Structure 1
Amino acid sequence: MATTSGACLPLLLLLLSPLIISSYSAAAAAAEAEAEQPVQVHGLLLSFKDSLHDPAGALATWSSSTPYCNWSHVTCTDSSSASSPVAVSLQLQGLGLSGDINATALCRVPGLAGLRLASNAFNQTVPLQLSRCASLASLNLSSGAFWGPLPEQLAALASLTSLDLSGNDIEGTVPPGLAALRGLQVLNLRGNRLSGVLHPALFRNLTSLHYLDLSGNQFLESQLPPELGGMASLRWLFLQGSGFSGEIPETFLGLEQLEALDLSMNSLTGAVPPGFGLKFQKLLSLDLSRNGFSGPFPNGVDKCLMLQRFEVQGNAFTGELPAGLWSLPDLQVIRAENNRFSGRLPEFPGGVSRLEQVQVDNNSFSGAIPQSIGLIRTMYRFSASLNELNGSLPDNLCDSPAMSIINISHNAISGSIPDFNNCKRLVSLSLSGNGLTGTIPASLGDLPVLTYIDLSSNGLTGAIPAELQNLKLALLNVSYNRLSGRVPPELVSGLPAVFLEGNPGLCGPGLPSDCDAPLRKHQGLALAATVASLVTGLALLAVGVFAVCRRIHGNRSSSPWKLVLFHPIKITGEDLFAAFHDKNVIGRGAFGKVHLIELQDGQKVAVKRLFSSGKLTFREVKNEMKALAKIRHKNVAKIAGFCYSEGEVSVIYEYFQRGSLQDMICAPKFAVGWNDRLKIALGVAQGLAYLHHDYTPRMLHRDLKSSNVLLADEFEPRVAGFGIHRVVGEKAYRSSLDSDLNDKCYIAPEQNFTKNPTNLMDVYSFGVILLELVTGRPAEQPASKDCSDIVSWVRRRINLIDGASQILDPSIPRTEQQGMKAALELAVGCTSVKPDQRPDMYEVVRSLQAL
């Protein structure tokens, strides 16, 4: 047996030798390939690096003498792939890179699993060759200055789980071919220029998506695809500000894994489907704000036990808010302002509540303010103005240690103002327009950060507490009460905004009633005899002077000038009239001329002389001008006063040496850098947002244009010319606009066929100003061959190849073009023909701040 085995061994070895040699050769080849792979990867990555412009030297460590896994911004991990034992990820975000991406070399890197080129400045289309990166699982090109269409070729990336192209200028439709990416879990296309209708196949097939963001694509013209409701894995859905219309499909009720749903700032209408929220057991944030929803809000939302934010403001919802909403254990924010909700505000669950912010302004809520509000230790803002609330203010209203803002103005609250001893973080207290009585609590003066106090239009009595002088107030409004006594002197002299009118019993410096007048009365009697002898002569002299003035000024003496000043300036009505000649004219508009007038003390003011002041009486004009003069914002020009004569009103504004934005744009050379232009745009937006949203009552500008943007030092803008329609009357206002052809391009197209002005008309006007800043061209362009206004000029070029480069001001360096493109996109949105596709000024401010 052993002999036989020994005899067979040589034969067996002979038969196996080819297999042994073959196995040895394969192993040697594999070892050799493994040894050569780093060399190959080095070369491919260095070829990719050579195609880039790296001004900061961020890729300086990339060298053939160093293992590529040790290079900066390169990550290597073990891979389960047989073809590549190492998974390579390039983290190249925010390095200031530009140039042409060598995707051909990049996609030959074995095991390339992640590519992050976000927040750079490539200024090119998305490279089609990236579709050859077969092993790529994550591709992030966000905010990389990419433009052009979204390549359908990316559907070839079968391994892709995350695709982020947000914050670029990607345009056109979303290719339905992307539905082939069945393993995709993250799709972020936020903040691009996508348009058209979304194809149902996209959402029918992308059933693995956890995160979908299509927000900020204002040119989309799509309804909400019902197929979205079949994406059972979806956890985050962001569709805000993207032109969606129609109703919420009932299929959305099947999104049981949702944690965040944002449909705000669209044109959605109809009722929210019954049972909405019943199955949203994981929902943390719900935002349906600024749409056109109507009807009652379904009760199902109170089953969302993990909900933290509930935002439905700016719709037309009716009925009561779901009763169980207020008791949700994790709820932090309720925003339901500007709807038609009614009913009573329920008692809050006290110490177990995590509520931080409740805003229910401008609804029809009635009943008393919840007594339990002060028990919520986390509450920092309670705002319920413009409702029908009654009863008294709870004694513990301000007991929350976090309470900072209280606004219960314009309700029917009665009783006295309680002591707010515990509210050490209170910044703003607005109780105006109620029926409050009693005195102003002196304890308000002990609140260390209280800055804004508005107690106007109530029935308060007694004196203004001297303790208020301890505060660093920016606003004190106690007008139209029944206050009496001496006004603390520092409140009169030290405040930028103090309003005391409508209290005949108050006295002090600068007020109609002088507190010291009774003391001087006796002394005055001793001089009476001496003065009497002069009266007759002065009277005769006055008659003579009047006769002379009557001849000089002709018929104007029949309607003498009445001057009202809101700030101490040395000027008279006669001074104004004497200065109204053409050599002082610095501007002309639809309502008259603007004169520059130098006062006796050298100070200069700008006076807008309104010829078409309608038929308002002096009392009516005074009331309107007082309301306008109350506006206080760093980007809104102060109204110093006005002068009235029958048929004519002249408004006095502060003057700035730089003049207006129009003066600067129309200068022979508009030599202002992009940062300063952006500062101007942001300031104008902030001033306009204040008028639209923060000032009470809310106000429209209705004549916004670059000539009404004044420029202070450091290019700080001041919005002027607001509220003119309130002074001249609606009929005269529209007549003046129709007769003026110079500023037509600032007027929103819908203004010609609608009777009710809206804040979106002001947004359109702002968009025109932003286009002026981006292009460096004036709004009216009579010398242009193909169109006379800047909006038409931009629209004809925006969709051309390299259209942006034709539009942007060539005097601004190319390094600033990314921000300019974003501003251009915002301006195009603001000047949309469809009003409902324009952003509101809050959103505009946020967009500009992001730049």
Structure 2
Amino acid sequence: MKALSILLLIFMILASLRALFCDTDPQDVAALQSLIKGWQNFPSSWEASNDPCGAQWDGIMCNNGRVISMRLSSINLQGTLSNSIGQFSELAYLDLSSNSGLSGPLPTSIGNLRQLTTLILAGCSFTGGIPEELGNLVQLSFLAMNSNRFTGRIPASIGLLNNLFWLDLSENQLSGPVPISSATSPGLDLLTHTKHFHFSGNQLTGNLNGLFSPSMRLEHILFDNNQLTGPIPAELGSITTLQILRLDNNKFTGAVPTNISNLVDLNVLNFAGNQLRGTMPDLSTLTKLNVVDLSNNSFDPSAIPTWMLTLKTLASVAIASGGLYGQIPNRIFTLPGLQQVILSNNAFNGTLNMTGNITQQLQRVILLNNRIVAAKITQSYNGILVLVGNPVCLDPEFSSSHFCSIQQDSIISYTTSVTHCGSTSCSSDQSLDPANCGCAYPYMGRVFFRSPLFADLRNNEHFQLLEASLSTELGLQPGSVFLSDIHFTSDDYLQVQVRLFPSTGTSFNLSEITRIGFDLSNQTYKPPQGFGPYYFVADPYVHFAGADDGGKSQVSTGAVAGIAVACGLILIAVTSGAIFALLQKRRSRELSGQTNPFASWGIAKKDSGGAPQLKGARFFSFDELKNCTNNFAENNEIGSGGYGKVYKAILVGGTNVAIKRAEYGSKQGAVEFKNEIELLSRVHHKNLVSLIGFCYEQGEQMLVYEYVSNGTLRHNLQARGIYLDWKKRLRIALGSARGLAYLHELADPPIIHRDVKSTNILLDGNFKPKVADFGLSKLVADTEKGHISTQVKGTLGYLDPEYYMTQQLSEKSDVYSFGVVMLEILSGRLPISKGRYIVREFRMAINPNDHNYYGLQGIVDPAIHDAAHTAGFRRFVQLAMECVDESASRRPTMNSVVKEIEAMLHSEGLSSGSSSTVEFEHVGTASTSHLYSGQVATARSNSSSSTAEEPPRPELKHSEP
């Protein structure tokens, strides 16, 4: 009996010790253990310890001992979701996406997660109704429950989620009407801040009257493939922020509202497959329209609408069964961006004339079942043309033409090439990695782009950009993405089979899979412009690196108990000493922190190991910056972006500064943060932004810059009311080039910026340029080698192709990026716009024999047309093209670029000296927004993940699509 009492005492002491040293709140531990009971294939690390936060369970992230994030995408979880999910009172992020084995109803206790901001259940197999309790999640901003088996009605309580900007309930079995608010019930019409309404592929009925209002800021409205009835609401025409509108394959009736013409930012309009009547809508004012489909309605018979002949942005137009008649005008085939025309089952007659200046992009013309009696086709047209069902195919001289055969309508789409790998083959459960030609276990899935802005699947450029962006933004090795089985589904979604390969070894580890899965399901990954909104459904990943048999712990419960009892006496003996040492260490750290502002620098794990070496910049306490921004008040906010928010402040002494404050989900790793501080503090040049100081305290990352008042170069090139003439643009280019030349040749050691772009060039009060954002910069430590081997980072559109392919970084990589900036200065265009790359556009357009515009009349910014005939303009174009040469060795140095632009200014009779104070003319009343409000986020390969060189992040935050 005495022995039993002693043993009981030992276990009580052990339990007390565990409670003392456990980092996780007991409530969260109990909730996780309850989840485990209902799941199979949970991570094996969950069995190795009863301390999720202290032992860093895979997929679990904590803050102050509370679970704040569960990222468990694509790990083959099976089972049901326990009611215990509601016990995670501090949970902010829950991602269970692409676990098709998760089924059963969604517990109502999920409504207890009052701190939840992100809920992603896409690609699971949940059934039953969506709980009304979701309306309790008032912090929720991202809700994705698509691709499940939910039934019943959309809960009206979702209308209470005022912070929601992404709402995706598509691809379920939801029925009934869309809830509209009343005196006694909320509705989705209250979601005035939401930007994405995705309800495709359900069984929704009723009409949409009352759902929309002018106060909404919607960008995407997707109600395709439902059973909605009634008229198309006229209120849609008041939501001028709309970019994509899909109401196809429903039962809408009546006429198309005439105020649809107000949607001047619309890129995609699809009303196909309804019962619409009346006059064909006039879309002539929708000058950004890329894709339009009005097929299979009951419009009044008419000739081909004139807007089809004038909208130069059109890539795809479809009006099958549209009651159209007359002869098809030849002009439609000369629209510059047109790729596809579908006009089947109409009454077109006469002669089809496809001769003359047919656009090269045109790949598909479908004219089935019309009344065309003759056809003239230019020999240079090599795309698809289907004339089956027209009288012309009865003509013996034409009937043998392949245009009268339906079989030639098959399209061979793009597939990633592995021809460089020779005859290498892999086992059935592995695939060939195009990056290294080795065999590995890829992370596979399907990306569905709901409304792409193009129709040509044979355009390699589109999909090569997609490959590059996936590898860069997901932090993978360049070239480690394989695309295949690219096709349009019956719902007009672009489906792409994706294989992603690990950067090292043959398998991903579990943390890599959950990170990548979260980036794709949370829309952190942004595809190239033109692909449109997407959703990702992954195949469960089972070949984790380092996984043991069955994913279970190798140590038995009995062994664990025996070891615990054996160690108990030793633990008791050392407890007092350990506690005393812990308290002493904590007190020492606190005292150190009071005298050393860098004491907190190395607390986070996997840090850089030491405080930054500063030259001139100072440390600011959190309280100092809090006070000078009035507790970061909204009226001091001057911008925001992927990094966080920027505040204008006045320091004690009167200095104007801009304080860039990172949000939790956008913080750099300590290495990148330290890198930017050290670089900015040691470089001093009039064309480089000056760092005044920083704050790295209380979990904050803040940079204090000189205040640069006139925004980014990108903003000034695009904003209305700002006029930059040719000479002013030359001075901006010269100043920016001088700043980069200083980094390359005068800094000691030299520095490669690695993220040169127009949003990283700021303009001060005199519009003098200052190069900014050194978070990705690299020191050139080995000048003899001439390059640095490094993981590819940068921004798509500006990325040096040689650096991307070889991972060999040099100063010439900055030269390439600056060349792209020069092309922006010439054109005012983004580097990548609607699937077109600015470098390629210039290469194709330049015509040395054109003495007026050098072949660039359609590309050059109208604001500088008058300069296009000058020798300086031509030389600037030539210099830009030299900078973007595919071979780094043929590009000039930045110092040479500086001298060339100086010569251009002299030839214009202008000074290139630094004393010039150029005043810029502002037209009208438009104001210039501050630069820091520009697009701060770049395509950094590690921008949304915790890597080996970053500390674990206390929070995550999606970036807005």
For normalisation by structure 1, the TM-score amounts to: 0.45
Report the structure number with the largest CA radius of gyration: 1
| Greater per-residue helix proportion | 1
**Bigger relative contact order, structure 1 or 2 (CA pairs below 8 A, ≥6 apart):** 2
